[in-house]
Amino acid sequence: MPIPGLLLVDKESDWTSHDVVAKVRGLAGTRKVGHAGTLDPMATGLLLIGVESATKLLTFLVGESKTYTATIRLGASTVTDDREGEILQQTELGAIAAITLAKIEAALDALRGEIMQVPSSVSAIKVDGQRAYAKVRGGDEVKLAARPVTISRFSIDAEPRFIDDHYLDLDVTVECSSGTYIRALARDLGAALGVGGHLTALRRTHIGRYSVDQAKTLVEYQNIKQAGQDLPILPSAQAAQQQFETRILNPQEVIDIRHGKRIPAESAPKSVAIAALDESGALVAMLERSGGQLKSSVVFSEASNA
């Protein structure tokens, strides 16, 4: 049985997040595997995979901030707001040449900070019990409600590139809150400039404090297994300490938390989620504030740290 913890996967293009979970189940030899934060098949980059009891951590990781690098193509809008969809509208030849860097920066500025974003119509959001993307692909028109998101960074990383006088490609970095659709940012940037826009590349580089630099591809993990080595799973306690503020419990507090009791919050961090460890460094629970006390959201058994 694998140790409980996180496996950081650098997802390759054309794999669904579910495909990755299925593959890890085979590599790890357990059915108890899940992921935090879906990536579209087109996208690459960081996917957090929980193994064994660490799947309990995923609930707390899904809502963490994300960082992406992407390429936005200005000059055409598509059904899916990315390169995989049919072109809905293409700007007139030569119109792209009129777009200056100053105009782009002004449009970017309107998409920074706390904004209301209409998700892409082919998102996984449920509408009348069906995923929005399924309804769109079935020929239905889907209109989703705007929702608040926070864009901490939306910057151009390189000189914009003109493509055959029809398109302008922008390489960008986006730091954002959970629930942000980068495809929708591409769509809205193109709309603001009057030329349409969609994504041609998307890569997730960070989820909270986890980096894709810590991750390996599925091929690399498969090679590790074929070499007779264990998967380099990040143990639950280390995984929790990397992302969350921590509280070290004394022996009596460990007993109290395991029995569903609350403990004083006096010296605890003010974070929404707090990782509670015993004096040996084992993960005991995830805690949350309740008035002047801390209560457990999830408790980990002693065996789950083995």
The domain ranges of the chain are 1-63+210-234, 66-207, 244-306
Position 29 scores a pLDDT of: 95
User: Once rounded to an integer, what is the mean pLDDT over residues 114-118?
Assistant: 95
pLDDT band at residue 183 under the 50/70/90 scheme = very high
pTM of the predicted structure, to 2 decimals = 0.91
Percentage of the chain beyond pLDDT 90 is 77
Contact 276, 257 (CB under 8 A): yes
**CATH tag, 1-63+210-234:** 3.30.2350.10
Q: Which of 74-83, 203-212, 277-286, 296-305 has the lowest average pLDDT?
A: 296-305
How would you write 57-100 as a 3-class SS string? HHHHHCCCCEEEEEEEEECEEECCCECCCCEEEECCCCHHHHCC
Rounded to the nearest 5 degrees, what angle is found at the Cα of 259, between the Cα atoms of 257 and 263?
Answer: 35
Active site residue 10: no
Position 144 scores a pLDDT of: 74
* Two domains, one topology: 1-63+210-234 and 66-207: yes
Is 136's pLDDT higher than 80?
no
3-state SS class at 16:
coil
pLDDT band at residue 185 under the 50/70/90 scheme = very high
User: Once rounded to an integer, what is the mean pLDDT over residues 189-206?
Assistant: 97
pLDDT band at residue 121 under the 50/70/90 scheme = low
CA distances from 245 to 43, 107, 267, 304 (A): 30, 36, 12, 20
3-state SS class at 201:
strand
Is 43's pLDDT higher than 70?
yes
CA gap 67, 153 in Å, rounded: 9
pLDDT band at residue 304 under the 50/70/90 scheme = low
- Hey, CA dihedral for 77, 83, 86, 90, is it positive or negative? positive
Structure tokens at 7: 């496996």
Position 306 scores a pLDDT of: 57
**Contacts for 207 with CB less than 8 Å, ≥ 6 apart:** 36, 37, 46, 48, 61, 64, 65, 66
Q: Please name the CATH architecture into which domain 244-306 falls.
A: Roll (2.30)
Is 41's pLDDT higher than 50?
yes
Q: Check 10, 14, 19, 40 and give the catalytic one.
A: 40
User: Once rounded to an integer, what is the mean pLDDT over residues 261-270?
Assistant: 79
User: Once rounded to an integer, what is the mean pLDDT over residues 260-278?
Assistant: 84
Position 135 scores a pLDDT of: 47
Q: Please name the CATH architecture into which domain 66-207 falls.
A: 2-Layer Sandwich (3.30)
